Amino acid sequence: MTVKIAPSILSADFARLGEEVRAVDAAGADYIHVDVMDGHFVPNITIGPAVVKALRPHSRKIFDVHLMIEPVDPYIPAFAEAGSDIITVHAEAGPHLDRSLQLVKGLGKRAGVSLNPSTPPEAIAYVLDKVDLVLVMTVNPGFGGQSFLRGQLAKIAALKRMIGARPIELEVDGGITPATAAECVAAGAGVLVAGTAVFGSPDYADNMKALRGGK
């Protein structure tokens, strides 16, 4: 299995986001990862659905939109309409995770659920029938450039076992470098979100190749 790379535009040049999206698309990105933060659920504010809509014409790749916002349900339709392909909500962001996932699926989008570092795999045991993607945070969400939390490798492995033969992608976000990427893939991850590791130096294609283990 070839690991998928989802460059996080949180680390891109915000003054030229459209160009940056086109550049990582051309360089071989599988997904375009969009981090949405509200200054409430996480200690930072980034972008909203208007920016997703503005970026949509710049790439046909899957827009992997990670909603780090609370409450999340009122905003899901706007992000769906803006052109998101995968909409990921946090297990911790609301009282009714099943309802949030139903809403995403009802809008014809792929539903993802994200787990913060302190959240156990069991938090999603009873919603796996509605999930297309599980996102493991290997840093505490809110800022790019943090160090990888090694204790999350066991969680990735546990989730891989829990998913079993289900067609659910297992994604990892936070502190991804070529070294930590290899560990995550060994634990069972199939999609890697990378910000600094992709955008931190000019050769985006080479940076993504390094994250794939040089392949």
Of residues 73, 85, 173, 206, which has the active-site annotation? Answer: 173
CA distance 52 to 61: 13
Domain residue ranges in the chain: 4-211
Nearest alpha-carbon partner for 123 in 148, 77, 155? 155
User: Is 173 labeled as catalytic in the residue annotation?
Assistant: yes
Contact 7, 194 (CB under 8 A): yes
- Which CATH class name applies to 4-211? alpha beta
Instruction: Decide if pLDDT at 145 tops 80.
Output: no
Mean pLDDT of 84-106: 97
Residue 1 confidence (pLDDT): 66
Instruction: Decide if pLDDT at 144 tops 80.
Output: no
CA distance 26 to 24: 5
Mean pLDDT of 57-75: 98
Mean pLDDT of 38-48: 95
User: Is 35 labeled as catalytic in the residue annotation?
Assistant: yes
b or e along 175-188 (b: 16 or more beta carbons within 10 Å of the residue's beta carbon)? bbbeebbebbbebb
